[in-house]
């Protein structure tokens, strides 16, 4: 027995479906479209009104619309539309309970965010941070190392990956942090810098991020629980995004200590070489 040849393209596949339900007719009646919706699309709640609404939306040939049917071109427009997408459109916005502690959630995170290539000789680029943020990433990794002229750099240490300036990374984060998500951004700082360049990093974090930088402890003083993701959703005030609650002033503390408090000991002094003691 000769097997039917598989459709050679997506259009041919859709045409095959159309012909099956049109049953030899030149157009697809609303009742046949409804059958297609229920059987193939599994839209069990669809009714004839649903089918007719699709005809009104996607059929441009007046004669077909008047006869409450759909031409192949109209059917093709429907099949390639958002109405035919398998993704649940109710999930296009946040639908989960977002009032639980931060530790209750999986957080979209990025490893070696700065890299656009491999981890040995790849290129570090600011666009990698932009791309991650635009994909909804909420935790970015920044590997920080001492750079020339007291400018901390970001790259994959002890490799041939290229270097970018720490201050440029923070500026990029500030510009793009809340383009697609209002939830807080976590900066995972892998800090290899000397104390002197840690202070430079702290100055950049405070001066560039401003009030967007959280400077108060997050955990509950009694239970130790972290707040929910809603604690610092993005607000747009005065034409620029900020994060609430507003950062508390820590001006009386040294910059390095300030950053240790912000990032819970992500900042640490460089290890000192032990001097050789005489016997």
Q: Rounded to an integer, what distance in angstroms lies between the CA atom of residue 260 and that of residue 255?
A: 9
Query: What CA–CA distances, in Å, run from 160 to 33, 66, 115, 122, 244?
Result: 59, 68, 12, 7, 40
Residue 198's H or E segment, with its range, is helix 195-209
Please say whether the beta carbons of 200 and 151 come within 8 A. Answer: yes
Write out the two tokens for 30. 């609303």
Please say whether the beta carbons of 217 and 276 come within 8 A. Answer: no
To which residue do tokens 């270097």 refer? Answer: 163
User: What phi, psi does 87 have (nearest 5°)?
Assistant: -70, 135
Please indicate whether residue 156 is annotated as part of the active site.
Answer: yes
Write out the two tokens for 18. 């159309």
Q: Rounded to an integer, what distance in angstroms lies between the CA atom of residue 68 and that of residue 51?
A: 9
Q: Rounded to an integer, what distance in angstroms lies between the CA atom of residue 32 and that of residue 69?
A: 9
Characterise 129 by phi-psi region: left (phi > 0), alpha (psi -120 to 50), beta (else): alpha
User: Secondary structure of the chain: what % helix, strand, coil (to 5)?
Assistant: 40, 10, 50
**16, 91, 156, 192: which is the annotated catalytic residue?**
156
**91, 111, 125, 220: which is the annotated catalytic residue?**
111
Q: Rounded to an integer, what distance in angstroms lies between the CA atom of residue 11 and that of residue 5?
A: 15
Please indicate whether residue 220 is annotated as part of the active site.
Answer: no
Q: Rounded to an integer, what distance in angstroms lies between the CA atom of residue 171 and that of residue 63?
A: 58
Q: What is the DSSP letter of 5?
A: P
The catalytic site residues sit at: 111, 156
């Amino acid at each position: 027995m000769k097997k039917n040849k598989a459709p050679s393209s997506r259009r041919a596949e859709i045409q095959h479906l159309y012909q099956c339900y049109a049953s030899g007719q030149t157009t697809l009646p609303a009742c046949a479209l409804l059958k297609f919706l229920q059987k193939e699309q599994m839209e069990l709640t669809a009714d004839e009104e649903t089918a007719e609404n699709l005809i009104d939306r996607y059929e441009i040939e007046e004669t077909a619309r008047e006869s409450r049917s759909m031409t192949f071109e109209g059917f093709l427009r429907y099949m390639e539309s958002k109405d035919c997408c398998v993704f649940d459109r109710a999930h296009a916005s946040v639908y989960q309970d977002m009032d639980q502690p931060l530790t209750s959630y999986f957080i979209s995170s990025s490893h070696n965010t700065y890299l656009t290539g491999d981890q040995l000789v790849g290129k570090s680029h600011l666009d990698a941070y932009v791309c991650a943020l635009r994909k909804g990433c909420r935790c970015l990794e920044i590997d920080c190392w001492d750079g020339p002229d007291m400018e901390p750099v970001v790259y994959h240490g002890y490799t041939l990956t290229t270097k970018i300036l720490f201050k440029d990374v923070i500026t990029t984060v500030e510009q793009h942090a809340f383009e697609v998500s209002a939830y807080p951004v976590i900066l995972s700082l892998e800090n290899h810098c000397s104390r002197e360049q840690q202070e430079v990093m702290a100055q950049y974090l405070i001066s560039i991020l401003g009030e967007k930088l959280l400077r108060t402890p997050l955990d509950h003083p009694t239970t130790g629980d972290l707040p929910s993701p809603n604690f610092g959703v993005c607000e747009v005030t005065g034409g620029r995004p900020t994060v609430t609650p507003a950062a508390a002033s820590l001006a009386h503390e040294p910059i390095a200590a300030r950053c240790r408090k912000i990032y819970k000991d992500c900042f640490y002094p460089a290890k000192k070489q032990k001097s050789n003691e005489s016997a």
